[in-house]
Structure 1
């Protein structure tokens, strides 16, 4: 059983909880996910099954799209609604909404939340936070491609955000709220899209349990990547380099379109094997 499974994660589960359930339901240990979703968040969770786990690192590097609900007037220690309220302020309206939102578009540095699974000195940040310990956290490079205000209902803003991998929408919500002059937190989050995989293509764990699902092939998963067609498959099977002036990663396929590997430039006029997928 090899392929890509698109799950619509429900709230209250960690991404690893979903992986464990799928391992049980599909009777295989080889299951991995392409990018963590917070327990309170819902939406697209891309799982690789069997031999498709070899493709994890490539499907994880795509941009994401979220529908985020920002609540102005109260902040929490976790930056979301599951945390303890640490500051409040009466809501008296906001101005220059579009200007402020658009100021967050582009490349920038972002500090991740203390309640996150990022590791510092071998320990996850939330382990430090739960013990009340402080640790220095480095800001990370992210890109916000688009922000759109979908709805405003008093102190609640609903935003569509398209961003790079590694972006914490919780941190973005807190930063936006601060710019508006309020404490704030992320009240709800839906991952609407991960790379080219959309929420409308996903199934639930209940669907999987009932057998109502379909695994995508590697050919379907990589159809939006640039393809490099090769005549002699043995070149890829033996991991040999190929002379080329291509300066980025490509998916190598045979004449029938079967995905064989991902290759990338070696800086010396050749493409080298990064990962075999056969």
Structure 2
């Protein structure tokens, strides 16, 4: 299948980098070019949309649209990476914290908001990724970026854990939502689980595991023309249905 153009939606396993998935699929399918439409942290699982061969030229169009995540935030402890892989920077008392407090704080994220990206991110400052500076113990001021949270809802609250779903614009850091939630509540917080269930017009229901054999992966490839049509019709917006199954 060298030269085949299309889209492949992968359910990224925990512990894999997005680059790991790209290299694995490229090798398995013997594709000339493989790229992705938005990275996922190694901690995260779920939708990673790959573009194969000449489809890489259409990445900007195919990657448009909202992102949907299911996440778990652990309250009572902040970490420097904003997730469970970092060092603890703050511990807080959850005594007296109510469900109503948490729901009100979550609701405050809804709409257009300014979000400061974490130091442990791939955003560059003077050509240097922030995470490389952070690993040297260097912290710099980061400019807040405008994002939009279309939907955010608590799925389950069982302290210290808060399981929630968020539908957001691209460029949103769910780790930052967890950190900022902890700051709002005065107790600290960090991300412990993250699963992306949607990226624009592509959803988890059509995702393939990277462990499938080449023939099975090939069957899952969405032809470029179909993918472009889906994006143009669906738009990948917050109110669009995403994948429509017959």
TM-score range, shorter chain: 0.7 to 0.9
Moved more, 168-177 or 90-99: 90-99
Match of 1:60 in 2: 63
**Contact 2:81–2:87 (8 Å) recurs in 1:** yes
Match of 1:217 in 2: 223
Moved more, 76-85 or 53-62: 53-62
Q: CA deviation at 1:226?
A: 3.9
Match of 2:145 in 1: 140
Q: CA deviation at 1:99?
A: 2.3
Q: Structure 2: where are the runs of 5+ without partners?
A: 234-246
Q: CA deviation at 1:118?
A: 0.8
Normalised TM-score (structure 2): 0.88
Q: How far apart, in 2, do the equivalents of 1:134 and 1:170 lie?
A: 17
**Contact 2:17–2:41 (8 Å) recurs in 1:** yes
Quick check: 1:78 aligned with 2:81? yes
Q: How far apart, in 2, do the equivalents of 1:50 and 1:226 lie?
A: 21
> After TM superposition, what 4+ stretches of structure 1 lie above 6 angstroms from structure 2?
none
Quick check: 1:168 aligned with 2:173? yes
**Structure 2 SS opposite 1:212:** helix
Q: How far apart, in 2, do the equivalents of 1:175 and 1:103 lie?
A: 11
Candidates 121, 126, 132, aligned match of 2:131: 126
Match of 1:254 in 2: none
Higher relative contact order at CA 8 Å, sep ≥6: structure 1 or structure 2?
A: 2
Quick check: 1:106 aligned with 2:111? yes
Q: CA deviation at 1:224?
A: 3.6
Match of 1:243 in 2: none
**Structure 1 SS opposite 2:83:** coil
**Structure 1 SS opposite 2:208:** coil
Quick check: 1:9 aligned with 2:15? no
**Structure 2 SS opposite 1:165:** coil
Match of 1:179 in 2: 184
Which of the pair is proportionally richer in helix?
2
Normalised TM-score (structure 1): 0.78
Q: Structure 1: where are the runs of 5+ without partners?
A: 228-278
Instruction: Report which of the two structures shows the higher radius of gyration computed on alpha carbons.
Output: 1
Q: CA deviation at 1:223?
A: 2.9
**Contact 2:114–2:147 (8 Å) recurs in 1:** yes
Match of 2:42 in 1: 39
**Contact 1:111–1:140 (8 Å) recurs in 2:** yes
Q: CA deviation at 1:89?
A: 1.6
Match of 2:244 in 1: none
Q: CA RMSD in A?
A: 1.6
Q: How far apart, in 1, do the equivalents of 2:206 and 2:179 lie?
A: 30
Q: Which residues in structure 2 correspond to 1:166-245 (within 5 Å)? A: 166-207=171-212, 209-213=213-217, 214-226=220-232
Q: How far apart, in 2, do the equivalents of 1:155 and 1:133 lie?
A: 30
Q: How far apart, in 1, do the equivalents of 2:140 and 2:92 lie?
A: 28
**Contact 1:60–1:165 (8 Å) recurs in 2:** no
